[in-house]
Amino acid sequence: MSWTASLSLVLALSTGSAMALVGPEDIGANNGMTTVHGCFGDEHGNLYGGIFQVPMDDEVREFIDAMNVANQGLDDNRVDLVFVGDGYTAGEMAQYHTDVNGIVDSLYQYEPFTSYQSYFRVTAVEVVSNESGVDNDPNQGVSRDTALDMQYWCSGIERLLCVNVGKAYTAAAAADDIDQVVAIANSSKYGGAGYPGNNLGTAAGQNGAAADIAIHELGHSLGDLADEYTYGGPMTYTGPELGPVDVSIYNRQEQLDQDRKWHYWMDANQSGFDGPISTFEGGNYSEFGVFRPSNNSMMRALGRPFNLVSAEQLLKEIYREVSPIDSGTGDGALISRGGTVGVTPMQPLNHNLSIYWYLDNVFQIDLFGATLVDTDDLTLGSGEHELKVVVVDETNWVRDEAMREQFMSETRTYTIRALPCAPDLIEDGTLNFLDLSRFIVLYGDGDLSVDFNGDGSLNFLDVSAYLTLFAQGCP
Ligand SMILES: [Zn+2]
């Protein structure tokens, strides 16, 4: 199946089954402030902008925190992208869904999202506004009555597209689960913003470049990635090492010598990603004193691929929400001999996850990759045995093996109970003359443990029953 075909399937399933209708709701005035990213492309797609303060009430943060706590128990095993729309009237819902599909379509054109699109669930919540369009579009001073109070010219910046975060989350709560919220405006005017602390981004619904901004903002909000462009800060950065994985004060040699940041990615170059990886001076709003991993990635210019350093981090965040085993026999299950054990792994588009089986800690090469194991096919003596399955994503887009072990690997352990084999009287796992000798001794002693026909006495019928079982053998 091509990715476009599976994309329409994903959308048909997710937006079709998860639609919800909510009306405007007010949860308090915005008195406080929050930090947003506003990153915009020039005519060449090169990004500029930076970090801005916009209003957001503290009550909203408490509300979102409470919602996140409530969602922690949900185990849908997908990254939930929840769209909410603003400035769409009841008659404009078809346009809203077209706009959502357009942005998701753009997202899935960029790796790692292309290959990992089945790890996402998209829900488009239908939010009805009284008026069509949003504030300050096309010009400052235009005011409209809309459900989520979206507006251009936020903090005096034309392209900075803000939303009432509390109202956006109240609307998004109609979805089954929320990992990232995207608020889209019924507008073709260029703009957007990312609220990294709130896992929220905004985008114009009908502007193709704005869809790219939404993807860049997802780099901030999902991957905690830094901007790799050089405008807006001090010309030379002189502070301590930076937090995000995709910027560093250490140059190539220092990273290699001191095992810093992306030292294990040096010179990597893979199709689908910006490369090769090295250290390029300039990033995080400064021209000097900061290095970025590749020359011109999505965190620096729109329409560009992410680099491998960023992709590895995005996969880590995706795997925080998604376990490698999607469904199957539960961890710790007790299986009777003859029963089956199965696992269904997640399925990236470009490779299968690896499936390793171990019986009593011995790797079973014949079962490598198997999703279903019939315990009758295993060589089992009597007693209890441990069957273990390890499912791991061995993609070469990840080189941090500790991270792979922690986030991209899942182990389930089962106990198989093999009933003892009745004629194996000395319990050594095989039938031979030692068992026959033991039978004769026990029979001679009048030991009712060899009352094989179960009639309460020992006689020739027990000899006959024992020899029949002995002839049948043990599994
Ligand atoms: Zn940015």
- What is the per-residue pLDDT across 409-431, written as a single tens digit (0 to 9) for each? 999 999 998 777 778 888 777 78
**C-alpha–C-alpha distance, residues 191 and 158, integer Å:** 8
Distance of CA 285 from the midpoint of ligand 1 (Å): 10
How many whole angstroms from 230 Cα to the centroid of ligand 1? 11
Query: Cα(50) to centroid of ligand 1, in Å?
Result: 7
- Whether 40 and 130 have beta carbons less than 8 Å apart is answered as no
The rounded Å distance from CA 38 to ligand 1 centre is 6
Q: What values do phi and psi take at 285, rounded to 5?
A: 80, 5
CA atoms within 13 A on the CB side of 292: 27
Question: What is the rounded CA–CA span in Å between residue 349 and residue 351?
Answer: 6
Between the CA of 201 and the centroid of ligand 1 the distance, in Å, is 11
Cα-to-centroid distance, 307 and ligand 1 (Å): 15
Residue 453 CA, ligand 1 centroid: distance in Å: 80
Q: 49 C-alpha to center of ligand 1: Å?
A: 7
Structure letter (DSSP) for residue 366:
G
pLDDT at position 73, please? 57
What integer is the mean pLDDT of 403-409? 97
How confident is the model at residue 148, as a pLDDT?
96
Q: What is the pLDDT of residue 274?
A: 98
Phi, psi torsion values for 212, nearest 5 degrees? -65, -35
Would strands 325-328 and 354-359 be described as parallel, antiparallel, or unpaired? Answer: unpaired
Tallying the residues shown for the chain, one arrives at: 475
How is residue 25 written in tokens?
């709701």
Q: State in Å: Cα 135 to ligand 1 middle.
A: 23
CA–CA separation, 437 vs 417, rounded Å? 28
Smallest Cα–Cα separation from 180: which of 39, 79, 98, 76?
79
Which of left, alpha, beta for 473 (phi over 0: left; psi -120 to 50: alpha)?
left
For the beta carbon of residue 143, count every other beta carbon within 10 angstroms.
Answer: 11
pLDDT at residue 62, as a whole number = 77
| Residue 277 alpha carbon to ligand 1 centre in Å | 20
Task: Give the lowest-confidence range in 26-30, 95-99, 421-425, 460-464.
Answer: 26-30
User: Which of these, 163, 157, 148, 198, lies nearest to 52 by C-alpha position?
Assistant: 157
Whose tokens are 């020359």? That residue is 295
Q: How far is the CA of 86 from the centre of ligand 1 (A)?
A: 23
Q: Rounded to the nearest whole angstrom, what is the distance from the C-alpha of residue 193 to the centroid of ligand 1?
A: 9
d(CA 371, CA 389): 10
CA of 126 to the centre of ligand 1 (A): 28
The yes-or-no verdict on residue 269 having pLDDT over 60 is yes
Residue 26 is predicted with a pLDDT of 32
Q: Which domains does the chain have, with CATH numbers?
A: 3-221 (3.40.390.10), 324-418 (2.60.40), 433-472 (no CATH)
Give the rounded percent of residues in the chain with a pLDDT score beyond 90. Answer: 66
Model pLDDT, residue 72: 60
* Structure tokens belonging to residue 77: 């095993």
Q: Rounded to an integer, what distance in angstroms lies between the CA atom of residue 334 and that of residue 38?
A: 54
State in Å: Cα 35 to ligand 1 middle: 12
Q: Give me the amino acid identity at 52.
A: F
Cβ partners under 8 Å of residue 109, min gap 6: none
Mean pLDDT in residue range 120-139: 96
Count CA atoms within 13 Å of residue 180 on its CB side.
27
| 37 CA → ligand 1 middle, Å | 6
CA of 217 to the centre of ligand 1 (A): 6
Long-range contacts, 433-436 (Cβ 8 Å, 24+):
435/470, 436/470
| Separation of CA 153 and ligand 1 centre (Å) | 18
Å from CA of 221 to ligand 1 middle? 10
Three-class SS of residue 380?
coil
What is the per-residue pLDDT for 71?
A: 66
Query: How many whole angstroms from 225 Cα to the centroid of ligand 1?
Result: 8
Q: Provide the mean pLDDT of the chain.
A: 88
CA of 172 to the centre of ligand 1 (A): 24
pLDDT band at 14 (very low <50, low <70, confident <90, very high): very low
**CA end-to-end span of the chain:** 44
Interval between CA 113 and ligand 1 midpoint (Å): 18
Give the pLDDT confidence score for residue 8 in this predicted structure. 32
Average pLDDT over residues 224-251: 95
Contact between residue 314 and residue 120 where contact means Cβ atoms under 8 Å apart:
no
pLDDT tens-digit profile of 15-29? 333 333 333 333 333
How far does residue 282's CA lie from ligand 1's centre (Å)? 14
Proportion of the chain above pLDDT 70, given as a percent:
91
Average pLDDT of the residues in 353-362: 97
Give, as one character, the DSSP assignment of residue 433.
Answer: H
Closest by CA to 374, choosing from 344, 343, 345, 339, is 339
What's this model's pTM, rounded to 2 decimal places?
Answer: 0.81
227 CA to centre of ligand 1 in angstroms: 5
Distance 226 CA to ligand 1 centre (A): 7
Checking if the pLDDT of 203 tops 70, the result is: yes
d(CA 174, ligand 1 centre) in Å = 29
Buried b (16+ CB within 10 A) or exposed e, 88-109: bbeebbebbbebbbbbbebbbb
From CA 82, how far away is CA 184, in angstroms rounded? Answer: 11
Q: Where are the alpha helices (DSSP H) in 30-118?
A: 58-71, 93-107
Gap from CA of 39 to ligand 1 centroid (Å): 5
Q: How far is the CA of 350 from the centre of ligand 1 (A)?
A: 28
In the structure encoding, which two tokens stand for residue 259, read together?
Answer: 């095992």
pLDDT exceeds 80 at position 233: yes
Cα 296 to ligand 1 centroid, rounded to whole Å: 13
207 CA from centroid of ligand 1 (Å): 18
Distance 177 CA to ligand 1 centre (A): 26
